[in-house]
């Protein structure tokens, strides 16, 4: 059975836990958490990920910067990225999609939407 | 002479038409004969068929048809039932999904709230819950000072400095919520027009049993929440009212006891001559 490795990049522990908790509904999901963009790059170099979920607003390195680095790196540029934005941040959302994000979710996120988006991107049918 | 000629031409014309009439009548008679022959033949065939299909066979076939018709009706009814059941399952699936979402939010919120005894950390978690799970970027958390019957601001988001500092218990919506311990929800969010910048959409008391230790006042909700508050919002609010209150209260008690402990430890050290 396929194993799915997810990287959650989010500075809020509450959101990290909520996303992580929701993704555990997917069979064989392995979750790694990062608290900002810099931490995410470190974690990316340590493992192979099938999907990245990144918040836009984060200290140190924000989600957009992280996304642009990921898309320029041939090692990770194929990995689907979901960006999490706040309401009223349409400009950030558009920027994210232009930079190559595969999907976006708005806070407060609906956990079933998150799981559906992840399953769609990874073509998980179960 | 001319008149005679004309008469003979007309007579010839009449004879031509008459001959054509005779020919047409002959053709009609022939066709009539052919059709009569066909009818006789068909009648004979019909009689033959009647002979071939015996009466018991016909009744057996009719019975089979009736039976099949009944079966078809039963199957159609069953299909409709299954379809209804399917719709019911689909709506229940959506309900379960929603419930799942609610429980995930509630689990995470309560887990985070009770994960620390640090007062500032608890406030940070309450702020995170309001921003990320409820969906607001303009709110205030006020705690009650029992000695002065005043609510003092301890944390806020999206408010200008000094916009709220203190609210008297019983004053305005916030003060009334603190006094009565009853939730305040604006009912018609779509047409909600605040009377001032500090008119809360939602104001919930932070309660430990019947004692209100403070309030959370929410002045703004993200766009998708502005039309209607969902069930999970109400559950999050009621969870916050209880869990945030106990978490804040425990953290305050813990920090007070820590301070007292260090004071007592200082005295003990002084008395035992450890202190320099």
With an 8 Å Cβ cutoff, are B128 and A13 in contact? yes
Averaged pLDDT of chain B: 89
* Chain B stretch 88-107, residues whose beta carbon is closer than 8 A to a beta carbon of chain A: 97-98, 100-101, 104-105, 107
Residue A2 has a pLDDT of 81
Give the DSSP letter of residue B132: I
Residue B145 has a pLDDT of 86
Label residues A25-51 b or e (16+ Cβ within 10 Å = b). Answer: ebeebebbbbbbbbbbbebbeeeebbb
State the average pLDDT over residues B121-150. 90
Spans in chain A with pLDDT lower than 50 = none
Neighbours of A14 (CB within 10 A): 24
State the average pLDDT over residues B11-35. 93
Give the CA count within 13 Å in the CB-facing half-sphere of B164: 31
**Cα Dmax for chain A:** 40
B43-61 pLDDT, tens digit each: 999 888 877 776 777 888 8
B185-195 pLDDT, tens digit each: 988 777 777 77
* Six token digits for residue B192: 């909600």
Strand-pairing partners, residue B142, are B153, B215
Residue B274 has a pLDDT of 66
Residue pair A48/A76 in contact by the 8 Å Cβ criterion = no
Chain A contact present for B236, CB below 8 A: no
Measured distance CA(A83)–CA(A92) in Å, rounded: 10
Chain A contact present for B111, CB below 8 A: yes
* Chain A stretch 84-103, residues whose beta carbon is closer than 8 A to a beta carbon of chain B: 86-88
Q: Measure Cα distances from B67 to B43, B56, B59, B61, B63 in Å.
A: 32, 16, 12, 10, 6
Mean pLDDT check: name the lowest of A33-37, B116-120, B126-130, B144-148: B144-148
* Chain A partners within 8 Å of B93 (Cβ): none
With an 8 Å Cβ cutoff, are B129 and A14 in contact? yes
Residue pair B225/B131 in contact by the 8 Å Cβ criterion = no
Neighbours of A83 (CB within 10 A): 27
Measured between CA atoms, how close is B107 to chain A, in angstroms?
9
Domains of chain A listed by start with CATH number? 4-119 (3.40.50.2300)
Residue B86 has a pLDDT of 95
B67-93 pLDDT, tens digit each: 999 999 999 999 999 999 999 999 999
Compute the 3-state secondary structure of chain A and give helix, strand, coil in percent, each to the nearest 5.
Answer: 40, 20, 35
pTM, to two decimals: 0.73
With an 8 Å Cβ cutoff, are A87 and B98 in contact? no
Please choose, from the candidates A14, A4, A55, the residue with its C-alpha nearest in 3D space to the C-alpha of residue B104: A14
* Six token digits for residue B22: 């005779």
Measured between CA atoms, how close is B179 to chain A, in angstroms?
31
Residue pair B201/B219 in contact by the 8 Å Cβ criterion = yes
Measured distance CA(B54)–CA(B58) in Å, rounded: 7
Measured distance CA(B146)–CA(B169) in Å, rounded: 10
With an 8 Å Cβ cutoff, are A87 and B131 in contact? no
Sorting pLDDT into bands at 50, 70 and 90, what band is B129?
very high
* Strand B139-145 with B150-157, pairing: antiparallel
Please choose, from the candidates A2, A4, A104, A8, the residue with its C-alpha nearest in 3D space to the C-alpha of residue A52: A8
Measured between CA atoms, how close is A108 to chain B, in angstroms?
5
Q: Is the ipTM of this complex over 0.95?
A: no
* Chain B partners within 8 Å of A106 (Cβ): 222, 224
For helices B55-113 and B231-239, the axis angle rounded to 10 degrees is 30
Sorting pLDDT into bands at 50, 70 and 90, what band is B3?
confident
Residue A79 has a pLDDT of 95
Label residues B6-15 b or e (16+ Cβ within 10 Å = b). Answer: eeeeeeeeee
B202-245 pLDDT, tens digit each: 999 999 988 899 999 999 888 776 677 877 788 888 888 889 99
Q: Measure Cα distances from B33 to A37, B19, B24, B39 in Å.
A: 101, 21, 14, 10
Measured distance CA(B137)–CA(B222) in Å, rounded: 7
Residue pair B138/B218 in contact by the 8 Å Cβ criterion = yes
Measured distance CA(A36)–CA(A57) in Å, rounded: 9
């Amino acid at each position: 059975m396929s194993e799915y490795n997810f990287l959650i990049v989010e500075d809020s522990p509450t959101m990290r836990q909520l996303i992580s908790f929701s993704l555990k509904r997917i069979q064989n999901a392995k979750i790694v958490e990062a608290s900002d963009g810099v931490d995410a790059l470190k974690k990316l170099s340590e493992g192979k990920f099938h999907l990245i979920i990144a918040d836009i607003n984060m200290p140190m390195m924000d989600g957009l910067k992280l996304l642009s680095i990921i898309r320029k790196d041939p090692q990770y540029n194929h990995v689907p990225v979901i960006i999490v934005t706040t309401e009223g941040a349409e400009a950030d959302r558009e920027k994210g999609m232009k930079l190559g994000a595969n999907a976006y979710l708005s806070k407060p996120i609906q956990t079933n939407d998150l799981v559906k988006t992840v399953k769609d991107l990874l073509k998980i049918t179960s | 002479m001319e008149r005679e000629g004309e008469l003979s031409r007309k007579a010839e014309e009449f004879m031509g038409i008459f001959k054509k009439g005779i020919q047409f009548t002959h053709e009609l008679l022939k066709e009539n004969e052919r059709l009569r022959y066909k009818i006789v033949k068909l009648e004979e065939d019909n009689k033959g068929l009647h002979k071939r299909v015996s009466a018991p066979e016909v009744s057996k076939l009719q019975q089979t048809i009736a039976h099949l018709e009944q079966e078809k009706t039963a199957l159609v009814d069953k299909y409709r039932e299954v379809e209804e059941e399917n719709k019911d399952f689909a709506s229940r699936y959506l309900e379960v999904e929603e419930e799942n979402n609610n429980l995930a939010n509630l689990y995470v919120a309560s887990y985070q709230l009770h994960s620390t005894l640090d007062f500032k950390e608890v406030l940070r978690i309450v702020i995170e819950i309001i921003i990320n799970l409820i969906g607001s970027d303009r709110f205030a958390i006020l705690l009650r000072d029992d000695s002065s019957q005043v609510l003092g601001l301890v944390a806020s988001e999206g408010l200008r400095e000094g916009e709220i500092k203190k609210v008297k218990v019983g004053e305005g919506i916030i003060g009334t919520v603190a006094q009565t311990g009853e939730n305040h929800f604006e009912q018609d969010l779509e047409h909600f027009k605040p009377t001032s910048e500090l008119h809360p959409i939602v104001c919930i008391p932070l309660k430990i049993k019947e004692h209100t230790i403070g309030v959370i006042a929410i002045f703004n909700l993200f766009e998708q929440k502005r039309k209607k508050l969902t069930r999970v919002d109400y559950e999050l609010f009621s969870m916050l009212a209880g869990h945030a209150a106990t978490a804040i209260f425990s953290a305050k008690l813990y920090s007070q006891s820590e301070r007292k402990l260090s004071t007592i430890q200082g005295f003990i050290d002084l008395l035992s001559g450890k202190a320099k």
